[in-house]
């Protein structure tokens, strides 16, 4: 259960800057994905006890992200003045929120079955997770620039720097997509060894991790729209 003090702290931050809670929310997504990265390593190493523990920790982080999201939504329904369109902000918040949701989902799937595949697939999993985390961390940096934009009244220089980060997120997500497709192909090449259930489990994990990077890219794209339409 999230304490009322935590909700109050979010409200206080929102009162001082409407963009800071968005950064807090993005950071919760990043925190969940970083924990997921630890869990993927533990999964590949066969440490299912650690996978279970990290799954519980990710559940808590995802719930904290939900509290921030709900606070942002409730505050936007008030008469607060915003430098951007409220609908654009909400459209941007939705895929951002899915980052922690997807991390929680993948974390749960990791608990269901032990990793039993080749070293090549193991390395592919770790590479996929690393690139996905890189995508999310670039995205976190992108969201962090929002407060700076507000302080400089969206100066041309700062807007250009923010939009450049959007492109970085898109480029990183493309790399994730390439690794994801290659890894799925490798899993199906080992179908005889893995069995149907093994192939299904691994492909669910692969697409789930890739979806996290997709959500970061979607949120970055909507953030760009929000800035350009202000």
Summarised one tens digit per residue, pLDDT across range 163-187 is 999 999 999 999 999 999 999 999 9
pLDDT above 90 (res 96): yes
- Classified as helix, coil or strand, 62 is helix
Instruction: Find, among 86, 66, 89, the residue nearest to 143 by Cα.
Output: 89
Number of H helices, E strands in the chain: 7, 0
* pLDDT for the residue numbered 32: 98
Across all residues in the chain, what is the average pLDDT?
A: 89
CATH topology (fold) of 4-228:
Methane Monooxygenase Hydroxylase; Chain G, domain 1 (1.20.58)
Q: What's the mean pLDDT in 127-153?
A: 89
Is 181 in contact with 131 (CB distance < 8 Å)?
Answer: no
Please state whether the predicted TM-score (pTM) of the whole model is above 0.85: yes
* pLDDT for the residue numbered 10: 46
Structure tokens at 38: 């630890």
Q: Residue 5: pLDDT band by 50, 70, 90 thresholds? A: low
* pLDDT for the residue numbered 145: 86
Q: How far apart are the first and last CA of the chain?
A: 37
């Amino acid at each position: 259960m999230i304490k009322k003090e935590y909700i109050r702290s979010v409200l206080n931050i929102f009162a001082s800057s409407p963009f800071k809670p968005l950064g807090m929310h993005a950071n919760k997504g990043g925190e969940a994905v970083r924990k997921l990265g630890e869990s993927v390593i533990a999964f590949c190493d066969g440490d299912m006890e650690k996978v279970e523990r990290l799954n519980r920790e990710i559940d808590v982080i995802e719930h904290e992200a939900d509290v921030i999201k709900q606070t942002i939504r409730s505050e936007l329904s008030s008469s607060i003045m915003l430098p951007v369109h409220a609908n654009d902000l909400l459209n941007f918040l939705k895929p951002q929120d899915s980052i922690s949701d997807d991390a929680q989902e993948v974390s749960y799937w990791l608990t269901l079955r032990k990793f039993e595949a080749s070293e090549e697939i193991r390395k592919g999993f770790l590479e996929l997770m690393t690139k996905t985390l890189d995508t999310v961390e670039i995205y976190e940096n992108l969201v962090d620039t929002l407060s700076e934009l507000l302080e400089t009244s969206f100066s041309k220089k700062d807007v250009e720097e923010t939009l450049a980060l959007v492109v970085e997120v898109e480029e990183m997500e493309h790399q994730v997509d390439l690794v994801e497709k290659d890894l799925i192909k490798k899993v199906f090449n080992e179908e005889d060894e893995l069995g149907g259930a093994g192939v299904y489990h691994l492909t669910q994990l692969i697409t789930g991790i890739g979806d996290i990077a997709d959500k970061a890219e979607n949120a970055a794209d909507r953030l760009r729209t929000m800035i350009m339409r202000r």
